[in-house]
Structure 1
Amino acid sequence: MSIAIPLSAWATWRIDALGIAAVVAALLYLWAAGRTQGRLRVPGARRAAFVVGCVVLVVISCGPVGEYAPRLFWVRALQITVLLYLVPLALTAGTPVTVVAGLLSPTARLRGLHALRGPIPRMLTYPAVTSGLLLVTPWVLLFTGWNIAAMTHPALDLLTRLFLVAAGFGYYYARSQADPVPRRFPQSLSLVITLVESLADGVLGVVVWLGPDIYAGYYRSVGFTEHSQMRDSQMIGAGMLWLLADVIGLPFLMILMTALRREDARRQARVDAAQDEAEMRASLGTAPSAPGSGAPDGGALWWENDPRFADRFHH
């Protein structure tokens, strides 16, 4: 059995529930994004990113990759990497929460944002939860019976692929913070987490590359007769889990660095404004305002004081 996907396979496509869901999601997203106006209007680049994520999801589910994932380890590794990293990154770049908010009335939008700040969303988007899930999932999937069970049971495979997309989406949504999130964390923390995650991808790739044969009995049952071919497929798959994951992570790293610069600029602007106010009050001989005077920050919602969302969700 060859470890290459034959060219003829690229003309063969199948119907897959996840691919159909991706098409429906793209159409609904474009319809909803087209209805948003004013400050909630989604830029064309973000719309394109979401659509690209849906297209990739269709290709990875309905094309030859979906057909050959249960037969070749490197194709399965490619599928896992794309579903866990590339598709969620593109989907979150489209700011779907903002698009949904644009369909709501100001009152419903405010209620939704209150619900978003609830204890369960806060727990699910906590850095240790989202990052831990992203780091642990590939290890558990590859080194337990989960992966073989998924490759031999279509219903479980569908649930597994949905879980991979959801785990990646939760990670990128909480880390990029392009949409309203339950709790905001410094972008420097997101940058450190991303670097640690890249190192973890490398460790996983090395373990798969240098470790013993994975699923040798299973791959013999699907047609592999030569050990060297199984080994080559596993080594290519290790590269997918390591190098491809890091390549996908580069755009996200640049996004975080840009967000970090903007965060520092906003912080410096606030410091400069406070110093200017203090100097003005000193020159006029007036006392500085007492904490809590003026705008009631203590009663304000977090997005009302956030420079990125104060205008976007003004009502």
Structure 2
Amino acid sequence: MELLHLRYFVAVAQELNFSTAARKLHMAASPLSRRIKDLENELGHRLFDRDTHHVTLTEAGIALLPIARGVLEQVDSIRWRLDETTRPGRTTLLVGVPSGIHPDLRERLYDLAERVRDRFEIKRWPGGTERLVDAVCDGRLALTLARLPAGGDPALEQLPVMSERLGAVVPRDRFSGRESVALAELSELAYAGSPSAVTNAYFRGLDQQLSELGIKKRIELGSATFDGISEIVASGLAFSISMLDPRSPMQNYRLDNVMVLPFSDFQPRLETGLLWRKDRASHGDLTEVVAAARAIFSEPLRD
């Protein structure tokens, strides 16, 4: 049995969806399914019940899950435990930062860096939420800010740090003079999702919610950037959703014919959390840093 087989099993067990788990593992669904079958054959137990619509854990799968997680936690902790033992003096810690974080949240990161500067040097590392969370799990990052919900790994602990109101990004010439907009008024426009929508659980859920509320049209932009979405909105073909606060970095991507309006009948909010590994914070190398973070982020920001 290889460790990769256990990682594949845990990923599918967390998602209960082979396609989603494969995307998280950066592989195709078919080879993932074959690896799970190989593991089942080696263990002599079926781990999942599968049909065309649902994936569920069998009794054997339920029993294996905590064992597999425990093994992976021990393996993933080897790197930081070794570093803790051999690295003298001031330690550099990488903290994950997703795109578009609010300046008030960034200011609190600066406060954290200042509070622990005698023993640690905090450096920021950019990326998408799921990749950043994976990097915390395997020890490459010490902590990360992440758009919630973020993963379901019980080895991680998360602290809510900010809640931001979201609004509709719409063509200005069509909604000029308006103070808000109703979802029904957007039904003729296509929804252009955030560039992070494919890999972000919150935006995947938001897309489904919009569909259930009557927004059926979609524009698939692939790897388009935020300014690319702004171009589509400015042309009058679509609307999108982004932070309402004018101080948000996302506001920098607006073009002349683009504005952000609050919804009159829909109240979406984007939640951000700070995540770390429990074992590193409990008598581990991050005990001091996490204690400082808990104090600095004790009152979640809310716009």
User: TM-score range, shorter-chain basis?
Assistant: under 0.3
Greater Cα radius of gyration, structure 1 or 2 = 1
Structure with greater strand percent: 2
Structure with greater helix percent: 1
TM-score scaled by structure 1? 0.19
